[in-house]
Amino acid sequence: MLKINNLIVSYGNIKALQGVSLEVKEGEIVTLIGANGAGKTTLLKTISGLIAPVSGTIYYSKNEKNSSLNHMAPHEIVRLGVSQVPEGRMVFANLSVAENLDLGAFLRRDAREVRESLDKAFQLFPRLKERVTQNAGTLSGGEQQMLAIARALMAKPKLLLMDEPSLGLAPILVKEIFETIRKINQEGLSILLVEQNAHLALQLAHRAYVLETGKIVLEGPARELAMNEEVKKAYLGA
């Protein structure tokens, strides 16, 4: 579904990604764990077309059709079915929940199908339905995260990129959000989940990568990585 090869990204002189290769297969949850500043956000932004890579390739395939995302603009990438839930949620604070969700479906034309997606989003997050006319900025952190996820789903993506959805949330809410991620994955959505909360992410994901200062240092089935001594020491606090 997504295949990244030897990706190099830099901010001026700072090399944020130094040859990252990674793959997400159809139907998978793949998690990318790494400490603060490892380059996780940079990777997701590059996939979404918000940052141009120095070199390397990003391939995305949908229905047997293979396309290179390298030189595509963000809106073209969204149109292909790759949506991102950005770090820090970034909901449109002065717009209502309904308007936020509408904007998620910005590129879609069929009003009836959009309506169906909306119903589905409300099924997934009933709390959003209760707050549909409320401004997004007045929601709690957890509700904002739900809105950010629901908004990304409104684009009807095939591949969802999530940047630290657990950031700053109470443990109970994190559990709830992760449960939802599992649910939407079971309905066929492929997910690339970036997390610092390695413990939960490794329980949820099928496969995992560990990123350290711009390089992938470990990869494998999530269950195996959770047992790995180095991972335990560095990320699971054991």
Partner 1 sequence: MKSIRQVLFCVAILCFFFFLNHFLTLYLNPYYLQILIYAGINVILAISLNLVNAQTGQFSMGHAGFMAVGAYASAFFTDRVGPLLHSFFTHVLAFPDFFSSFFIFGFALVIAGCLSAGAGFIVGLPVLRLRGDYLAIATLGFGEIIRVMILNMDVVGGARGFTDIPIYTNVFWLGLCVYGTWMVIGNLIHSTKGRAFLAIREDEVAAECMGIHTTKYKVGAFVIGAFFAGVGGALLAHEVGYLHTNSFTFLRSIEIVVMVVLGGTSLVGSALAAIVLTLLPEVLRFFSEYRMVVYSLVLIFLMLARAKKWKST
Ligand X SMILES: Nc1ncnc2c1ncn2[C@@H]1O[C@H](COP(=O)(O)OP(=O)(O)O)[C@@H](O)[C@H]1O
Interface positions with Mg ion (CB under 5 A): 41, 87
- Residue 121 or 169: the one with the smaller Cβ distance to Mg ion is 169
**Is residue 153 near partner 1 by the rule CB under 8 A?**
no
- Residue 45 or 156: the one with the smaller Cβ distance to ligand X is 45
Binding mask of the shown chain, residues 26 to 55, with x at each position contacting ligand X by CB under 6 A? --------x-xxxxxxx-------------
Concatenate the DSSP letters of all residues of 139-180 into one string: S-HHHHHHHHHHHHHTT--SEEEEE-TTTT--HHHHHHHHHH
Nearest distance in Å: CB 172, partner 1: 26
Task: Provide Rg for the chain, Cα atoms.
Answer: 17
- Residue 192 or 225: the one with the smaller Cβ distance to partner 1 is 192
Are 92 and 100 in contact by the 8 Å Cβ rule? The answer is yes
Q: Return the residue nearest Mg ion (CB atom).
A: 41
User: Would the CA dihedral through 82, 105, 89, 167 be positive or negative?
Assistant: negative
**Is residue 88 near ligand X by the rule CB under 6 A?**
no
- Residue 103 or 217: the one with the smaller Cβ distance to partner 1 is 103
Partner whose footprint covers residue 167, from Mg ion, partner 1, ligand X, none (CB < 5 to 8 Å by kind): none
Beta bridge partners of 178: none
Nearest distance in Å: CB 189, partner 1: 16
- CA–CA separation, 128 vs 210, rounded Å? 34
Give the number of other Cβ atoms within 10 Å of residue 230's Cβ: 11
**CA-closest candidate to residue 214, choices 7, 17, 82:** 17
Give the number of residues in contact with partner 1, rule: CB under 8 A.
25
Are 70 and 8 in contact by the 8 Å Cβ rule? The answer is no
Nearest distance in Å: CB 88, Mg ion: 9
Are 155 and 105 in contact by the 8 Å Cβ rule? The answer is yes
**Is residue 11 near ligand X by the rule CB under 6 A?**
yes
Footprint of partner 1 on residues 84-123 (CB under 8 A)? 84, 86, 90-95, 99, 102-104, 106-107
For 7, 42, 156, 217, the CA distances from 52, given in Å and listed in that order, are 10, 10, 25, 23
Partner whose footprint covers residue 197, from Mg ion, ligand X, partner 1, none (CB < 5 to 8 Å by kind): none
Q: Which residues bind partner 1 (CB under 8 A)?
A: 48, 50, 73-75, 78-79, 83-84, 86, 90-95, 99, 102-104, 106-107, 151-152, 155
